[in-house]
Amino acid sequence: MSLATPDLATENTFDYIITGAGCAGLSLVQHMIKSGGFTGKKILLIDKDAKTKNDRTWCFWEQQPGLFEAIVKKQWKQLWFRSHGFSKKLAIAPYAYKLIRGIDFYTYCLNEISRQPNITFLTASVDEIFSTAARGTGVVADGKTYRANLIFNSILFQKPILKLKEYWLLQHFKGWFIETATPQFDEQVGTLMDFRTAQDKGATFFYVLPFSPTQALVEYTLFSKELLPDDVYETALNAYVTQTLNIPVYDVTEKEFGVIPMSNYSFPTGENNIVNIGTAGGHTKASSGYTFTFIQKSSAAIVESLLRNSLTFSKPHGSKRFHFYDSVLLYILHNNTLRGADIFTDFFKHNKPQQVLKFLDNETSVPEEVQLISSLPTMPFLKAALKQVAPFG
């Protein structure tokens, strides 16, 4: 793919257009800025939203300070895992489990962008993205055409048509930021997963991330095929806070809701001069929904590739192998062969938490993976694995 600089004589022509100013789009821009290698490039970032609301939270784990360390609201090196029959406080060092609020991420990135004279942020709805021999490469946003040499697209316009042995679940969650009048939380210890709730709607758990003795994010999360009515999330959250956490009186200061697709669908990397990134590019971990770390890895690889004047970047190490593992687990969850609560309980009960986190980051070796997988029920996983390799499923 040629990366020759286009004619920048017209106002609406750019070197790069990035569609979507979510985690993927803004992360890619930040990696570009940090590299120092794009000051001579004209970049357009387009999103329909001005990004002034705290609409989501990103959680991830790292061993070292990362690119966005300055806006990490809180981090924990101890995490509870809880389920019926097994509870353990996990010491995860050298990892730290980190939380970034959406509004902090948007504000930080847009402030950085505002200091770059070569980068433009446009608030507009993307109507069309095209790259053909006849039309060239460009974007139509609010009826106006913008052209570029390359487009990085993070917008997933619709659910794809699935093929045989491809599954599509939703990770959907509602969170309450709560505040109490008296100390109720140990701010040094978070709760990664608490499965002590009904499992009839799919893999269902809560997590609790305390910011202080009186403030915490409490999130109700499900892996299932369908969303729930809003009142069901609300009722479940209230029951967990009052009955499980034993906090009868509290104030809800903020709420958030989100949906992340969990699928082994082979998301296209793009076509012609369009490169898909984020969930649209398959950078969401199919079996867990974690996305932030994979987006950072992908963004770094893209920037390194662009600086080499090519687009020969690769996905995170071992992606084909881990795609297979994700497909096996999605098959089990999709068909309810085993309960998700039991699978994650076995993972954390029989393995070091660092190994589980490393596995979820697609960074383990084959011997490490054999040890992890051997801690799970053999027959259901063997049958699911055979389903993935059989010609007709």
Asked if residue 40 and residue 134 are part of one domain, the reply reads: yes
Tens of pLDDT, residues 350-364: 999 999 999 999 999
DSSP codes of every residue in 22-81: SHHHHHHHHHHHHHT--TTS-EEEEESS---S---EEEEEESS--TTGGG--EEESEEEE
* pLDDT for res 1: 34
* pLDDT for res 2: 34
For residues 176 and 247, the answer to whether their CB atoms sit within 8 Å is no
Asked if residue 285 and residue 137 are part of one domain, the reply reads: yes
pLDDT at 385 exceeding the cut of 80: yes
Question: Which domain CATH number covers 198?
Answer: 3.30.70
DSSP codes of every residue in 114-158: HT-TTEEEEE--EEEEEEETTTEEEEEETTEEEEEEEEEE----S
* 3-state DSSP assignment of residue 269: coil
pLDDT at 247 exceeding the cut of 70: yes
* 202, part of any domain: yes
Element housing 106 (H / E): helix 102-114
The closest alpha carbon to 320, from 362, 369, 268, 281, belongs to 362
Question: In the chain, what percentage of residues exceed pLDDT 90?
Answer: 82
Asked if residue 353 and residue 325 are part of one domain, the reply reads: yes
Asked if residue 340 and residue 227 are part of one domain, the reply reads: no
Top pLDDT among 1 and 196 is at 196
For residues 309 and 3, the answer to whether their CB atoms sit within 8 Å is yes
* pLDDT for res 316: 53
Both structure tokens of 91: 């010491």
Tens of pLDDT, residues 20-58: 999 999 999 999 999 999 999 999 999 999 999 998 999
Q: How many domains does the chain have?
A: 3
Asked if residue 371 and residue 324 are part of one domain, the reply reads: yes
pLDDT band at 201 (very low <50, low <70, confident <90, very high): very high
* pLDDT for res 380: 87
Q: Rounded distance, CA 335 to CA 320, Å? A: 23
Q: Rounded distance, CA 103 to CA 101, Å? A: 6
* 151, part of any domain: yes
Asked if residue 188 and residue 48 are part of one domain, the reply reads: no
Phi-psi bin for 216: left (phi > 0), alpha (psi -120 to 50), beta?
beta
Question: Which domain CATH number covers 41?
Answer: 3.50.50.60
* pLDDT for res 89: 98
User: What is the overall mean pLDDT for the chain?
Assistant: 92
Q: Rounded distance, CA 278 to CA 284, Å? A: 7
* 3, part of any domain: no
Tens of pLDDT, residues 172-181: 999 999 999 9
Domain that holds residue 352: 319-389
User: Nearest 5°: CA angle at 353, between 351 and 359?
Assistant: 85
Asked if residue 232 and residue 189 are part of one domain, the reply reads: yes
* pLDDT for res 169: 94
* pLDDT for res 314: 58
* 206, part of any domain: yes
Question: What are residue 205's DSSP bridge partners?
Answer: 221
Q: Taking the model in full, what pTM does it have?
A: 0.92
Residues 6+ apart with CB under 8 A from 50: 123
Asked if residue 282 and residue 348 are part of one domain, the reply reads: no
For residues 143 and 68, the answer to whether their CB atoms sit within 8 Å is no
* pLDDT for res 289: 81
pLDDT at 238 exceeding the cut of 60: yes
Phi and psi of 171, rounded to 5°? Answer: -95, 110
pLDDT band at 10 (very low <50, low <70, confident <90, very high): low
Asked if residue 202 and residue 240 are part of one domain, the reply reads: yes
pLDDT at 11 exceeding the cut of 80: no
End-to-end distance of the chain based on CA atoms, in angstroms?
37
Tens of pLDDT, residues 268-294: 888 899 999 999 988 888 888 889 999
Asked if residue 241 and residue 176 are part of one domain, the reply reads: yes
Q: Rounded distance, CA 361 to CA 325, Å? A: 12
Tens of pLDDT, residues 299-355: 999 999 999 887 666 555 458 899 999 999 999 999 999 999 999 999 999 999 999
* pLDDT for res 319: 80
pLDDT band at 391 (very low <50, low <70, confident <90, very high): low
pLDDT at 7 exceeding the cut of 50: no
Residues 6+ apart with CB under 8 A from 9: none
Tens of pLDDT, residues 73-122: 999 999 999 999 899 999 999 999 999 999 999 999 999 999 999 999 99
* 286, part of any domain: yes
* pLDDT for res 343: 95
pLDDT at 5 exceeding the cut of 80: no
